[in-house]
Homo-oligomer: A and B are copies of this chain.
């Protein structure tokens, strides 16, 4: 495994995404080389801090940066206004200035909240991402979507705000609980399904090595996902078109998370269930062939992801859709598969088909191939 760098191309706001083992120990030098000047505040949580905060602090101080650590409680259930305010309170209590560099050290929740805080603190300060989970490395840390949840829906409040640097230290993944790692794999498989049949095949063939955290395949996984995401985001930063394809499985998944109160399932687990539902809907629409439907389910199942949706009322499910950010004119929009490697957005789903799908999955009827 060697250090590599991708660039997310957004003209003057382009930024590097670094990959490699042990990169957190050189984060200070890297930021200095990128000419990022100021005082840093490292936002992290009580799970990640004992693992990496000292190393990050040493690396930053060694390069001449002052460091204000801001510790938040861990978990999606804390991705809300109250926790966001803790960040602002800490920054203002310590008189941080416009030259502040906010560094997110942790998973997707930390990254999303820190990014939103960076966008809004003094109307915008420098933002750096150090994602320490697979999900954050392959998805949430790249592309500038930031935000918090509202009791009435996920990520309802936020900003498009790009970091100046994303550092994916692949060694951090070895500390992840298995369940967290697998949740990230849901997003990994998503990239194959929506965009890259070869990558889907690679995942199927090397799944055991990846799940064993073999360094070669793992780095290929993270880099491929980031390359796909960077390409999509650079073409459509504000999700006016193709960026919506990255939401494959998310309309169903967000509804499941919202209906289960954000505290039972990891985001990636809900997305895995959502992808099964979206793939099944694609099949029922006559788009996705039977064999590819089975291959999709098979890869998700072999990975060890939960595929059975919690038992939910169909009406509640529909109600949750209508609060989705992607709703247009009251109609939810779904990302469906034409085939593995090719997704498309539609709001044109016959009502009975959707109702049957929801009933079958959320009321645990027998589903062919699942």
Contact = CB atoms under 8 A, between A and B. Distances in A.
Contact of A325 (B85, B122, B327): B122
A291 to B, nearest CB: 36
Nearest to A322: B95
A98 interface: yes
Q: How many copies does the complex hold?
A: 2
Contact of A328 (B85, B97, B121, B156): B97
Contacts of A124: 159-160, 238
Contacts of A322: 95
How many of chain A's residues touch chain B, expressed as a range?
Answer: 35 or more
A92 B328 contact: no
A85 B95 contact: no
Contact of A145 (B123, B160, B329, B330): B123
Contacts of A155: 123
A228 B81 CA distance: 37
Contacts of A116: 120
Contacts of A153: 92
A347 to B, nearest CB: 12
Interface in A41-96: 81, 85, 88-89, 92-93, 95
A152 interface: yes
A88 B123 contact: no
Contact of A81 (B81, B122, B158, B326): B81
Interface residues of A, dominant DSSP: mixed
Interface in A304-329: 322-323, 325-329
Contacts of A325: 98, 122-123
A355 interface: no
A81 B85 contact: yes
Nearest to A144: B123
A264 interface: no
Among A88, A145, A157, A322, the one with the most B-chain Cβ atoms within 10 Å of its Cβ is A157
A119 B150 CA distance: 16
A147 interface: yes
A99 interface: yes
A238 to B, nearest CB: 7
Contacts of A238: 123-124
A155 B160 CA distance: 20
Interface of A: 81, 85, 88-89, 92-93, 95, 97-99, 116, 119-124, 145, 147, 150, 152-153, 155-160, 238, 322-323, 325-330
